């Protein structure tokens, strides 16, 4: 890759990478621990013997294995609490939890090898599994469930789990809306702007960007106004994280019924030109240096937005809880994402998040679905929210949530009912490829390698050709 490329999201790297790392088994408190010697295949060449600690399940219960991709202490602790809660209330099923790095590739490999887990939740490019039809259809289970009421889920979230009219995933654990335009009040006021009158159009957002971006005597960025590709600004194509920029411009980039891309649409050309405008003012090479000094997103105190050296960001509903810990001394406000002038005032939102799935070859699919049912319940959403700040799929739970816990959370909850448009994740069958091309295309335009018009045409052609290669029956 060119040395002048901006840093990529770890998620995209994981999706493109090959499986290699071993998975770790979790330890449960106050249970019998047994040690098991296993062979771990590394890069399909070298094998090593490792000892893992494995919880001995009660003999009268059916044990199911749950893989999840969420890592880090906070995420792992939350998932363990969910597993503990399920095991405590179930008389017939025992869930054994495994955190799996690079879970997308490993899940595909396990399914192909005929030895998958019983259930997986989190950190997949889900639509690629939907399209390959390597998972159990869930329609019959959902329709006969006494736990799941489909009217209590956002329709767009359910639509994101479907392929050819069939449902292959169940929204659970973390599955909600995705966008807010957020800003640091002190930086906005320091630039002489009104924090109670946020920009509604991209022209207005650019004015804020110009007034809040500050340079040192050497011309390096000290304070950045807005990075169009930071956090959810660079997201997509989803699920789990949908594109932000096409909904802002009212563009359906993937027409699922016709299996057709629309990157050659004039609106996509304008998107690329708009992003370039923000980078041009900051200096695209300067942005590379700035990004090498600061991380992205909002969880870490050293990331640019929580550190107080970036004025604006687009991010999801986990952000208020993260900022309460990563930037407690700053005040932030939240508003609707800007739009082009011809859509001024349009309140757009999108669903995103994670689905539970049951792979073909699972040993206990019926029991796995019982666990997924449990993962949609309010008590599980309480557990997850209390430990991570993530929002779950149930509309009724969101309506009763105490939004006062984190400043700004009320915007996200209210946006569920106040949005003029609720966009689903598009469900493209080659989403990993499209996501990488999205970043490559933005980089090519930002660095002047291609004009927006040519870059849009090339992305349209590349994605269409890749769809034809992977799914010739669809192209």
Asked whether residue 1 is domain-assigned, the answer is: no
Same domain, 28 and 95: yes
Looking at residue 405, its pLDDT comes to 93
How far apart are alpha carbons 140 and 365 in whole angstroms? 13
> Which residues lie closer than 8 Å to 34 by C-beta, 6 or more apart?
53, 54, 55, 56
Q: Which helix (H) or strand (E) covers residue 269, if one does?
A: helix 266-282
How far apart are alpha carbons 454 and 312 in whole angstroms? 29
How far apart are alpha carbons 184 and 330 in whole angstroms? 7
Same domain, 171 and 186: no
Same domain, 146 and 284: no
> For 58-116, how does the pLDDT look when each residue is reduced to its tens digit (9 = 90+)?
678 999 999 999 998 889 999 999 999 999 999 999 999 999 999 999 999 999 999 99
Same domain, 244 and 358: no
Residues of the chain with pLDDT under 50: 1-55
> Which residues lie closer than 8 Å to 259 by C-beta, 6 or more apart?
467, 471, 474, 475
Looking at residue 128, its pLDDT comes to 96
Burial (Cβ within 10 Å: 0-12, 13-18, ≥19) of residue 324 = middle
How far apart are alpha carbons 52 and 143 in whole angstroms? 39
Same domain, 144 and 208: no
Asked whether residue 4 is domain-assigned, the answer is: no
Strand duo 348-350 + 214-215: pairing: unpaired
0.75 cut: is pTM over it?
yes
As for how many domains the chain has, the answer is: 2
Looking at residue 220, its pLDDT comes to 96
Q: What angle do CA 375, 381, 382 make, to 5 degrees?
A: 135
Tell me the chain's radius of gyration from C-alpha atoms. Answer: 22
Distances (CA, A) of 459 to 8, 86, 273, 341, 433: 18, 45, 15, 25, 11
What six digits make up the tokens of 384? 């997850």
Strand duo 260-261 + 332-335: pairing: unpaired
Asked whether residue 5 is domain-assigned, the answer is: no
3-state SS class at 276: helix
Looking at residue 426, its pLDDT comes to 87
Structural domain including 24 reads 10-177+353-423
> Which residues lie closer than 8 Å to 78 by C-beta, 6 or more apart?
70, 383, 384, 387, 388, 390
Same domain, 17 and 102: yes
Strand duo 348-350 + 421-423: pairing: parallel
Asked whether residue 368 is domain-assigned, the answer is: yes
> For 273-320, how does the pLDDT look when each residue is reduced to its tens digit (9 = 90+)?
999 999 999 999 999 999 999 999 999 999 999 999 999 999 999 999
Q: Which helix (H) or strand (E) covers residue 215, if one does?
A: strand 214-215
How far apart are alpha carbons 380 and 373 in whole angstroms? 10
Asked whether residue 440 is domain-assigned, the answer is: yes
Same domain, 126 and 217: no
Place of tokens 């499986």: 19
Asked whether residue 223 is domain-assigned, the answer is: yes
Same domain, 403 and 257: no
Same domain, 18 and 42: yes
Same domain, 187 and 304: yes
How far apart are alpha carbons 284 and 357 in whole angstroms? 41
Looking at residue 57, its pLDDT comes to 60
How far apart are alpha carbons 430 and 129 in whole angstroms? 10
Q: Are the CB atoms for 246 and 252 separated by under 8 Å?
A: yes
Same domain, 372 and 384: yes
**CATH at 187:** 3.40.190.10
Place of tokens 């796995």: 368
> For 254-264, how does the pLDDT look when each residue is reduced to its tens digit (9 = 90+)?
998 899 999 99
Q: Which helix (H) or strand (E) covers residue 319, if one does?
A: helix 319-326
Q: Last residue of a domain, which of 403, 423, 443?
A: 423
Same domain, 228 and 242: yes
How many Cβ atoms from other residues are within 10 Å of residue 400's Cβ? 8
Task: Using alpha carbons, select from 200, 171, 212 the residue that is nearest to residue 372.
Answer: 171
Asked whether residue 99 is domain-assigned, the answer is: yes
How far apart are alpha carbons 114 and 332 in whole angstroms? 49
Asked whether residue 475 is domain-assigned, the answer is: no
């Amino acid at each position: 890759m060119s040395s002048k490329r901006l840093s990529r999201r770890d998620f995209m790297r994981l999706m493109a990478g090959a499986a290699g790392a071993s998975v770790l088994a979790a330890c449960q408190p106050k249970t019998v621990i047994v040690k098991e010697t296993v062979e771990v295949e590394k890069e399909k060449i070298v094998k090593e013997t490792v000892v893992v600690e494995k919880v001995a399940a009660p003999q009268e219960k059916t044990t199911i294995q749950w893989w999840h991709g969420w890592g880090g202490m906070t995420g792992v602790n939350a998932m363990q609490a969910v597993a503990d809660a399920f095991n405590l209330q179930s008389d017939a099923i025992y869930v054994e939890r495994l955190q799996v790095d690079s879970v997308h590739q490993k899940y595909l490999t396990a399914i192909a090898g005929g030895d998958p887990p019983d259930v997986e939740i989190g950190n997949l490019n889900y639509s690629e599994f939907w399209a390959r039809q390597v998972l159990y259809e869930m329609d019959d289970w959902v329709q006969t469930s006494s736990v799941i009421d489909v009217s209590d889920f956002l329709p767009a979230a359910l639509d994101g789990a479907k392929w050819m009219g069939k449902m292959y995933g169940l929204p659970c654990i973390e599955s909600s809306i995705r966008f807010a335009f957020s800003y640091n009040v002190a930086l906005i006021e320091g630039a002489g702007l009104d924090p109670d009158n946020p920009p509604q159009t991209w022209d207005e957002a650019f004015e804020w960007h110009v007034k809040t971006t500050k340079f040192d005597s050497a011309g390096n960025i000290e304070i950045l106004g807005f990075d169009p590709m930071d956090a959810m600004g660079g997201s997509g194509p989803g699920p789990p994280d949908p594109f932000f920029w096409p909904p802002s411009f009212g563009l359906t980039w993937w027409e699922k019924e016709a299996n057709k891309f629309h990157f050659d649409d004039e609106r996509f050309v304008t998107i690329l030109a708009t992003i370039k405008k923000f980078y041009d003012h900051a200096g695209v090479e300067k942005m590379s240096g700035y990004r090498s000094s600061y991380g992205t997103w909002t969880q870490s105190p050293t990331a640019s937005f929580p550190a107080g050296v970036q004025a604006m960001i687009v991010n999801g509903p986990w952000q208020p809880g993260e900022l309460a810990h990563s930037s407690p001394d700053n005040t932030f406000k939240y508003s609707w994402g800007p739009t082009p002038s011809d859509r001024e005032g349009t309140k757009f939102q999108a669903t995103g998040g994670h689905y539970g799935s049951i792979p073909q070859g699972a040993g206990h699919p019926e029991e796995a679905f019982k666990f997924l049912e449990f993962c949609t319940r309010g008590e599980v959403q309480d557990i997850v929210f209390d430990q991570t700040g993530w929002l779950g799929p149930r509309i009724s739970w969101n309506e009763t949530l105490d939004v006062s816990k984190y400043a700004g959370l009320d915007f996200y909850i209210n946006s569920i009912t106040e949005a003029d448009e609720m966009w689903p994740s598009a469900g493209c069958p080659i989403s990993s490829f499209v996501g990488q091309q999205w970043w490559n295309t933005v980089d090519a335009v930002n660095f002047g390698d291609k004009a927006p018009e040519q870059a849009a045409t090339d992305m349209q052609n590349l994605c269409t050709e890749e769809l034809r290669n992977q799914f010739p029956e669809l192209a």
